[in-house]
Amino acid sequence: MAKQITCRRVYEETSPKDGKRVLVDRVWPRGMRKEDAHLDEWLRDVAPSTGLRKWYGHEPSRFAEFRSRYLAELRDAGHREAAGRLRDLAAHDKLTLLTATKDVDHSQAAVLAEWLTKR
């Protein structure tokens, strides 16, 4: 069975089709109250490092390099446990990866969704 993984903005309305809702940002979304996020988990340690996030700055022209660097980070000790937890969630349930970024297609959530479906 193919894994059902989607990406959405955390600010969007929840849906019964979401399955497990996991925030994959390192910092809490601006203006969002925790009780309004309707999260199952917040895996901040699966997010890109602060240095990589700041370097990327959500510049689409840097996305390919960001993707490459982020995939390398997912193998390091600082990300390993959270990445494993995310893989486990994806293996057992429909999963929606949430992010605050405006450009979801060029975000860590998109990289994670692709990474999880290839595992």
Q: For 50-86, what is each residue's pLDDT tens digit? A: 999 999 999 999 999 999 999 999 999 989 999 999 9
pTM score above 0.85: yes
The yes-or-no verdict on residue 119 having pLDDT over 80 is: no
Cα distance between residue 51 and residue 68, in whole Å: 14
pLDDT value of position 92: 86
Which of 13-17, 55-59, 109-113 has the least mean pLDDT? 13-17
Q: How far is residue 90 from each of residues 22, 25, 44, 103, measured CA to CA in Å? A: 10, 17, 17, 22
